[in-house]
Amino acid sequence: MPEKSLKIAILNLMPLKQATEADFLRIFADSPIPVAIDWLKIKNHVSKNTSQAYLDAVYKNWEDVHNQSYDGLIITGAPVELLEYESVTYWEELQEIMDWAREHVPARLYICWAAQAALYHFYTIPKYPLARKMFGIFKHQVNDPSVPLVSGFDSEFYVPHSRHTEIRKEDILKVPELTLLTESLESGVHIVTARDGRDIFITGHSEYAPDTLHTEYHRDLNKGLPIERPVNYYIGDDPEKGIAFQWREDAIKLYTNWLIHYVA
């Protein structure tokens, strides 16, 4: 008999919904455990980049599934990081979802802005604006290789980041319940865990496709926005030479470890 699928809910707050879907489907395609995904959306938020017809066909509202049983929940980043949390139009609903997940979903993973938002909601950890965008591929270190989430990782590994704000190490270390599992000298806090890994907060984007930062870079250039070339991203720092896809294997390890050791 085929192995039973893990049931994962993904609250997709990213503007390009289908690109984010493809990111996670690609990551989970390499999982040794089958995964069934329910795509969730915020009820009253109008997407500027995805048709309502597509959302109605593919996505569910949280209130329609909150009585269902899920093995894991992922909440993605969102392009609202420069707003105060309370100014985000769906902040109240997001808090309800995070509180519900702590009571009803065994494993919870928060990415980029969602990681910042969850750390603020549960622990009052502040975020800080950056002088310039954290944009590129950065080297990270594992602080405790015995933790199953980083099983198989080298002592140094690479992760994409694309954000205008940060959380700081000193604020994390003030909270006894929080563990700083991985970090970077350049991009700072990366993975924070709580509740024996049932809550995982990740500031980077290991799930990103090879060309995501390239697309973001040229999008901002075309808009005339102040944007620097993504760090450690192009081969020889030359866009003409292509992209150095340095994070793929570690991305697969990260999500496989999450599924095996925390979700399953």
Question: Would you call 121 a catalytic residue per the annotation?
Answer: no
CB 77 within 8 A of CB 164: no
Catalytic residue chosen out of the listed positions 81, 166, 183, 207 = 207
Kindly name the residue from 81, 93, 112, 166 that is annotated as catalytic.
Answer: 112
Q: Which two tokens stand for residue 187?
A: 């991009």
168: phi then psi, degrees, rounded to nearest 5: -115, 145
112 an active-site residue?
yes
Selection from 151, 5, 152 nearest residue 72 by Cα: 5
Strand order in the sheet with 128-142: 59-61, 35-41, 6-11, 72-75, 107-111, 199-202, 188-194, 179-184, 128-142, 156-166
Cβ 70 vs Cβ 38: under 8 Å? yes
Q: Which residues contact 235 (CB under 8 A, 6 or more apart)?
A: 241, 242, 243, 244
Among the listed residues 140, 161, 190, 205, the single catalytic one is: 205
Catalytic center residues = 112, 205, 207
